[in-house]
Amino acid sequence: MKILGIESSCDDTSVALIDITGNKINILAEKTASQIEIHKKYGGVVPEIAGRKHAEQITPVVEEIMKDFEKPDIIAVTSGPGLITGLIVGVETAKTLSYLWDIPIVGMNHIEGHIHSVLIENEKEGRKRNINFPVLSLVVSGGHTEIILSKEQGRYKKVGGTRDDAAGECFDKVAKLLEFDYPGGPKISKFAEAGNPKAIDFPRPMIHSKDFDMSFSGLKTAALYHLRDHPNTDKNDFCASFEQAIVDLLVSKTLKATKKYNPKTIILAGGVSANKKLRNTLEKEIKKVSPQPTFTFPLLPYCMDNATMIAVAAYNHAKNKKFTAWNKIQADPSWKIYNNFR
Ligand code: KG4
Ligand code: ZN
């Protein structure tokens, strides 16, 4: 089945064409036009500008992806959650192509895409990613921090998540205090490599709460006050201690959920899953749990937003004929993965 994926929920205009049968995913073409250079000037994504840029980029990117191929069998488009200005561009493009080519659309949930990003392999690494249910997913990005349980394919239950900022947002906002360019998460983790994670005792809000929820805004404020009161603080130590606090929160709540729900597979996905400290700590801690679940995370290029994961995640819906008519599909900026299908 040939699936054209379209992703434009934040600041990446991404299009991919895959051929998928059973467990075999063949990526025929993929391209992401990033807007980071534009949003950098503003220290974050400006929705109005993002929408305009998506509108400019989407047609040339689709043209480039399709230049050597006939029409696909299906279009998979992110219809939520995300920025409405970007989602609309992707959804309207999908509608037009669906009408033109007379092929069905699968309206995809962005978080469901991130969860399926772990299925994407490349020839160099060729890791087999067998997913056994129940699956517990920690999806951490600039917009989301959620722990999600799936007892079967395509069914999702919210276990916990952030009560305020997303973990990636917290990384980016604190990076801004350090005058790092947006998105600053990767730069914080780079500085952290040379620092002492115990140098500053940052708070870990809600770490001892009985539920699986987290909070990051208090940590962000503590980071702000620390920099105000210690202007000459060692940047490496600051980054290492701050990163450690985020990792501790994410890992402790994921482990707590693991002990309660006994998943067979644990997935770490979303932009922050690129963070090595988080990957390594979670892997190490999961090994201590008995019976030990399989731990998996995406290849680096698929941690960030990309259309390939959207196309891959759409496959099961397409097999079950869960399509949305081109004249019915709508962008839904606050679509929760555990509510329903589109
Ligand atoms: O999934 P994504 O591309 O976009 C959203 O859906 O939000 O995630 C981007 C986020 C940004 O907040 C970025 O700072 C963060 O992922 N990020 C990292 C790292 N790489 C990306 N945060 C911490 N450490 C990293 N290595
Ligand atoms: Zn994302």
Tens digit of each residue's pLDDT (9 = 90 or more) over 67-95? 999 999 999 999 999 999 999 999 999 99
Which atom of ligand 1 sits closest to the CA of residue 183? 14
Element (H, E) at 33: strand 24-34
If asked whether residues 91 and 219 sit together in one domain, one would say no
pLDDT in the model for residue 342? 35
Task: List pLDDT tens digits, range 129-174.
Answer: 678 999 999 999 999 999 999 999 999 999 999 999 999 999 999 9
Provide the residue type at 27 as one letter: I
CA of 143 to the centre of ligand 2 (A): 7
Same-domain status, 103 and 224:
no
- Give distance in angstroms: CA of 229 to centre of ligand 2: 34
Residues 119 and 177 grouped into a single domain: no
What pLDDT sits at residue 126? 56
70 shares its domain with 203: no
Percent of the chain with pLDDT over 90: 91
217 and 91 in a common domain? no
CA of 36 to the centre of ligand 1 (A): 12
* Residue corresponding to tokens 């040339």: 60
Pocket test for ligand 1, best of 34, 83, 141, 306 (most atoms within 8 A of CB): 141
Could you tell me if residue 237 is inside a domain? yes
Instruction: List the beta bridge partners of residue 271.
Output: none
pTM > 0.85: yes
> What is the spatial distance between Cα 136 and Cα 255, in angstroms, rounded to a whole number?
10
Mean pLDDT of 277-302: 94
CATH of the domain at 247: 3.30.420.40
Residues in the chain: 342
Residues 19 and 53 in one domain: yes
Rounded Cα–Cα distance for residues 243 and 238 (Å): 8
- How far apart are alpha carbons 157 and 138 in whole angstroms? 12
Could you give the CA distance from residue 160 to residue 124 in angstroms, rounded to a whole number? 35
Query: Which ligand 1 atom sits nearest the alpha carbon of residue 270?
Result: 1
Token representation of residue 119: 């299925």
Shortest-distance Cα residue to atom 8 of ligand 1: 271
Q: Find the residues whose C-beta lies inside 6 A of ligand 1.
A: 10, 141-143, 168, 171-172, 183, 185-186, 189, 270-272, 274-275, 304-305
